[in-house]
Amino acid sequence: MENDKPLRKSRDQHELEQLIQRRRENFKDKVKLAIAFASGIALFGIVFTMLDRTSTLGPLDMSIWIHRILVVCVYIAVFYFFLKISYKYFDRIFFKYKTNTWDLMYRRFKRNNAASVGLLIILTLAILAIFADLLSPYPDPGNNENYDPDYTLKHLEEAPSKTHILGTTRNGKDMLSVLIHGSRVSLALGLSVQATASIIGITIGSIAAYYSGWVDKILNVINDIVMAFPFLLFIIVLVSILREVYIAVRIPFTEIVLIDTPTLFSMWNGLAMVFLALALLGWSGTYRVVRGQILSVKEMEFVEAAKAVGASDRRIIFHHILPNVISPIIVLVTLGIAGVILTEAALSYLGFGAAEGAVSWGRAIYEGREYATTSRAFMVFFPGLAIVISILGFNSFGDGLRDALDPRMKR
């Protein structure tokens, strides 16, 4: 008995090792928490910088206040969302140590190389977008205060050189600066469109699936109509009409205009219109996925149990059904951002998107398209490359996320 003692671990020793193990995991969780917070601030930064560009608006304009209210709303929404996520880690750090779905997901995701590359691309884009003013070699090309005619007019359509690494655009702007500042537009547009469109899609989809019957049938027909309309064409018509028609939202019984279409158009150099059109039409995919998922979840026992207890419809939808369909939605949103970047570029290329003076990738291709058959083809090449790389990032990240969230769908 005496000889065995050094070989066997005492109970205290065992517990100590477990404690150390827990400390390590605890530390990892803290790192994850920090990352979650950092990316939250990053996301907020993108949206904030995007919304706060009031340079095109005159002073004493009602719309500035709309701007500020919007900024505050977005801030609250983003902050709330990340607080929610952080709570999950707080719970883990301070209360329990067990393997949950998120942990499994994280491990599966970590194993996927393509997805990690995608994440890296997205993070790089986010950093470029947030610190665009610091990272770009020349000041913001979208800001008219930085326009220096003496310098600019001497540097039109320049080939790549030491001073302008990727050359200059036809207006003499530094291409690299344009691309770096353009990433703000792409990311902000992608995020805001997807947020709006998926809220619409989730709401309509869950209504359709939950109250099947004639509500479902009518919504299905509406969805069929939206689907039958070639997406790009619909958006082109919508944008070209929204651009010229005067619609104003007024406070009833007063003359104060809350927001009108000319203001919307001047906001973000015409990209507000793209946002509106994409958000109004982009819910179709989310709608179908949510509806299909809910239809299958609806038949499960726990929903029946909730009904038997007497829970309200709203409670059943938001507390019992939606949490079960959240993972396909996250994937759809990630992949959707790529789609939005692509559509913005296509619209801008056709001349229906970003207006003159806007700094966006699509606009850069539009401005360079006449040079495609000349020796200045790089003016189209670089912005397109930026689009390809970022879409590649979002797509592979989304695919990895899907595999991690739902191993059954693994390719």
Partner 1 sequence: MREYVLKKIGLMFVVLIGVYTIVFLLCIAAPGDPARLAMGRADNPEARAILREKWGLNEPLYVQYYTTLKSLVTLDFPRSFRYREDVGDLVAARLPRTIFLGVIAIGVSVLIAVPAGVVSAYKHNSIIDNITMVASQIGVATPNFWLGLMLIVVFYTKLGWFEIGAPDALLSLEGFSKVTLPAITLGTGMAAVTARLTRSSMLGVIREEYIMTARAKGLTEKVVILKHAFRNALLPVVTVVGLQFPLIVGGAVLTEVVFGWHGLGQLYISSIAARDYPVIVTTTLLFAFGVVLINLIVDLLYSVIDPRVKYERVST
Stretch that binds partner 1, among 40-48, 94-102, 137-145, 340-348 (CB under 8 A): 340-348
Member of 217, 307, 315, 319 binding partner 1 (CB under 8 A):
217
For the residues of 53-117, what is the DSSP string, one character each?
A: --TTSPTT-HHHHHHHHHHHHHHHHHHHHHHHHHHHHHHHHHT-----HHHHHHHHHHH-HHHHH
Stretch that binds partner 1, among 39-47, 163-171, 262-270, 381-389 (CB under 8 A): 381-389
CB of 313 to partner 1, least distance (A): 22
CB burial of residue 385 (10 Å; 0-12, 13-18, 19+): middle
Site for partner 1 contains 120 (CB under 8 A):
no
Q: Decide: helix, strand or coil at residue 255.
A: coil
Alpha-carbon radius of gyration of the chain? 25
Stretch that binds partner 1, among 22-30, 31-39, 217-225, 273-281 (CB under 8 A): 217-225
CB of 33 to partner 1, least distance (A): 32
174: alpha, beta or left? (left if phi > 0; alpha if psi -120 to 50): beta
What residue type is assigned to position 186 of the chain? S
CB of 388 to partner 1, least distance (A): 5
How remote is the C-alpha of 44 from its chain's centroid? 11
Site for partner 1 contains 350 (CB under 8 A):
yes
Residues 149-188: x where in contact with partner 1 by CB under 8 A, - otherwise, as a string: ----------------------------------------
Q: Decide: helix, strand or coil at residue 299.
A: coil
Q: Do the beta carbons of residue 116 and residue 400 sit within 8 Å?
A: yes
29-40 burial string, b = 16+ CB within 10 Å, else e? beebbeebeeeb
* Total residues at interface with partner 1 (CB under 8 A): 45
d(CA 286, CA 329): 7
d(CA 32, CA 215): 43
Complex with partner 1: residue 1 or 228, whichever CB lies closer: 228
Stretch that binds partner 1, among 2-10, 30-38, 230-238, 272-280 (CB under 8 A): 230-238
Complex with partner 1: residue 64 or 123, whichever CB lies closer: 123
What residue has token string 């304009």?
A: 61
Enumerate residues 246-275 that contact partner 1 by CB under 8 A.
Answer: 246
Complex with partner 1: residue 206 or 343, whichever CB lies closer: 343
CB burial of residue 9 (10 Å; 0-12, 13-18, 19+): exposed
Member of 222, 257, 311, 330 binding partner 1 (CB under 8 A):
222
Stretch that binds partner 1, among 163-171, 266-274, 322-330, 344-352 (CB under 8 A): 344-352
CB of 391 to partner 1, least distance (A): 4
Member of 16, 19, 104, 221 binding partner 1 (CB under 8 A):
221
Complex with partner 1: residue 137 or 351, whichever CB lies closer: 351
Q: Closest Cα to residue 42, out of 70, 81, 6?
A: 81
Q: Which residues form the interface with partner 1 (CB under 8 A)? A: 114, 216-217, 220-222, 224-225, 227-233, 236-238, 240-241, 244-246, 338, 342, 345-346, 349-350, 365, 369, 372-373, 377, 380-381, 384, 387-389, 391-392, 395-396, 411
